[in-house]
Amino acid sequence: MIIAIDGPAAAGKGTLSRQIADAYGFHHLDTGLTYRATAKALLDAGLPLDDEAVAEKMAREVELAGLDRDILSSHAIGEAASKIAVMPAVRRALVEAQRAFSLREPGTVLDGRDIGTVVCPEAPVKLYVTASADVRANRRYEEILGKGQSADYAEIFADVRKRDERDMGRADSPLKPAEDAHLLDTSEMSIEAAFQAAKVIIDAALKKK
Ligand code: DC
């Protein structure tokens, strides 16, 4: 069983994916972390972010087992990740590893930007989780304030828009819903309501198997 979850940054797909994986006892892969880990390895080694052959080599060395969002969450790593994510050779290398992961038993949840369209087009469940740019920026803003740090809403909003443009506008595997994806707009939906909606869709697919 493969559950493919796509959507823009800060739409709540990470939280939702983890909840689904926990509830069904499936393995979870946040594929954004594979791009982030590749970018961090390049930054740590002092290597350029615009050399596709070098970046591909790093991508092939990424270990899926050791990916940690806490270590990879910084804004600088996110920016670097979105730069190397436009490179077809990097995408090919990471997609190979992601596909191998998706076949684990008893089932997997993969979240990212191109899971339903490119990585696992045959997935029986595809969710496209989205929310308005304003709502997503606000969630990020509250999250930072919640950690006791200071934040500038206008800056975060501009950042969300810039990330969207990069993810949706790139030539290779742009972010878009698969034709057979279920849309979940979480703008006015709690994470619990989104989980319940996802559960109905997943349970129906499991029954069909
Ligand atoms: O979701 P995130 O912020 O951790 O993703 C980091 C970058 O990687 C972001 O620019 C989008 C890109 N990405 C991608 O191109 N394809 C994926 N399947 C996942 C992430």
Tens digits of residue pLDDT in 121-143: 999 999 999 999 999 999 999 98
Ligand 1, atom 15, residue with closest C-alpha? 85
Residue 191's pLDDT band (cuts 50, 70, 90): confident
Instruction: Calculate mean pLDDT across residues 8-30.
Output: 95
Instruction: Calculate mean pLDDT across residues 167-174.
Output: 92
Where does 1-26+107-203 sit in CATH, by number? 3.40.50.300
- Structure tokens, 88: 């077809």
Residue 9 Cβ contacting ligand 1 at under 6 Å = yes
102-119 pLDDT tens trace: 999 999 999 999 999 999
Can you tell me the distance from the alpha carbon of 144 to that of 159, in angstroms, rounded to the nearest whole number?
14
pLDDT higher than threshold 90 for residue 15? yes
pLDDT higher than threshold 90 for residue 160? yes
Distance 60 CA to ligand 1 centre (A): 17
- Structure tokens, 182: 């279920």
Ligand 1, atom 6, residue with closest C-alpha? 32
Averaged pLDDT of the chain: 95
What pLDDT, on the 0 to 100 scale, is given for residue 75?
Answer: 86
Ligand 1, atom 14, residue with closest C-alpha? 113
34-85 pLDDT tens trace: 999 999 999 999 999 999 999 999 999 999 988 998 899 888 999 899 899 9
130 near 186, Cβ under 8 Å?
yes
Give the domain ranges of the chain: 1-26+107-203, 31-105
Can you tell me the distance from the alpha carbon of 155 to that of 136, in angstroms, rounded to the nearest whole number?
13
131 near 50, Cβ under 8 Å?
no
